[in-house]
A and B are shown apart, each in its own frame.
Chain A
């Protein structure tokens, strides 16, 4: 069994709006203990932020996402961390990951239109001295986000009574 601390994290990862009292009930621990655990995780930078997963397509809020694969050349002065931080600081950039394989970084960029993103990549990412190449893939549809299926779940087909 997992430690109760990790269980708190798992519950919040699944549902950030779960109340302290509910967490206490499902883990069978006092609510003060729950608050103490959450506070410690916040102080230690383990819990970074509470967010909501939104299916933006449903509210016609037209954001465009693109996955940009970025190849870089490292120098004595500039390593991965330096380049990654430089990319990450743009507010348009949604995520930056160092990855293995053909290229070095996978950057997720959020913009208002395809043009918007294309220009951002051309003007802001490609121009970073260490960036050798970029490959832009626009996201056409998202089916699963953060472990949540963005399509209709199956209905419950069970009978109302089963002995």
Chain B
């Protein structure tokens, strides 16, 4: 019999401790529950239901026919970076193409930035509930993730940040419009945050992947504010606005020193973002009408979902993204009990709020990235579920 190689360590010790100590994603368990069930309406999907606009797909198909299958420059195709620089002026940011790295989605970008900035012992401020990756990425670098609970408004402000003065944190991770809560910030609110950022001397990782899906006017980037350009790393991409999730194209706009650090890691770990996606992204920037069409449809769904949910739950009206985050604790159930019960009894999949941080307990996240008919049916089923199983 062949002997298993363990590198001289017992099997249980092969995986690095800092990896072993990471908590697995809270959503995992629900994958197993949903397997084999028919007629499930999933509001658990954090990606658009619209297909990639056909003109973008055509460009990608054509590029494959022409043989565009090689690596690109580490930082990405020049035409794409120029396009991004011009495009980002709509959010108030004047960036040079030389400041932009095209990444394999925002996920890679955030990882690069955290690895570039965090040394063991450095602290990162992370408002919760928030997207699932920020905290583990900080911890994997030996950093300390200090979560700031933002319930019930889900918004960070000057005073809240200043309470963490003693933490001596190095970075703040901000995501707006936010997954899972849908909240966003006006220019005025961002100015307040910028004041605290200055006083605490923070570097901000500004995850703006849902920027195009803002329903309260045009998104403003934190990097657009006076004096912020040197303190903010902007992340965005093509996944949400153009439905290009699986094509993995994101980008970062970073101050020169941080840019240089991130590029080093990027060239070793990723080399470049997939070329097909990059070519699609160039076409996407010429297809902004498609985004307007999709945004309008998301906004209608948002209005509908908020109206229906507010008849049952306490809910804050989302300002962007495609998520609603109602408070379900009035049913007497925990987030996980609710999500599991709703799936088992009514075949509607949602994500328990505590998957996005402890303070998300008592909430659920619903993604309204599904066709209107299904959304209607799902709302009816949720209502039935609460009437039948909720505490009256």
Contacts and interface: CB of A to CB of B under 8 A. Distances in A.
Interface of A: 2, 7, 10-11, 22, 25-28, 154, 156, 158-163
B31 A160 contact: yes
Interface in B291-344: 296, 300-301, 303-304, 307-308
Interface stretch (B45-53, B75-83, B148-156): B45-53
Contact of A161 (B296, B304, B351): B351
B132 A163 contact: yes
B49 A161 contact: no
Given A161-B44, A163-B131, A163-B179, 8 more contacts: A2-B296, A25-B304, A28-B307, A158-B45, A158-B47, A159-B45, A161-B30, A163-B46
Given A160-B31, A160-B349, A161-B30, A25 B46 contact: no
Given A161-B34, A163-B27, A25 B303 contact: yes
Contacts of B51: 154
Interface of B: 25, 27, 30-31, 34, 40, 42, 44-47, 49, 51, 131-133, 179, 296, 300-301, 303-304, 307-308, 349, 351, 355, 372, 376
Contacts of B349: 160-161
Contacts of B46: 162-163
Contacts, number: 57
Contact of B303 (A2, A26, A162): A26
B52 to A, nearest CB: 10
B307 A163 contact: no
Contacts of A2: 296
A162 B28 CA distance: 10
A-B pairs, top 5 by smallest CB distance, nearest first, are A26-B300, A162-B46, A28-B303, A161-B44, A160-B42
Nearest to A2: B296
B42 A161 contact: yes
A158 B370 CA distance: 11
Given A2-B296, A25-B304, A162 B49 contact: no
A40 B232 CA distance: 50
Given A25-B304, A26-B301, A27-B303, A160 B34 contact: yes
A161 B300 contact: no
Contact of A25 (B30, B179, B308): B308
Contacts of A10: 296
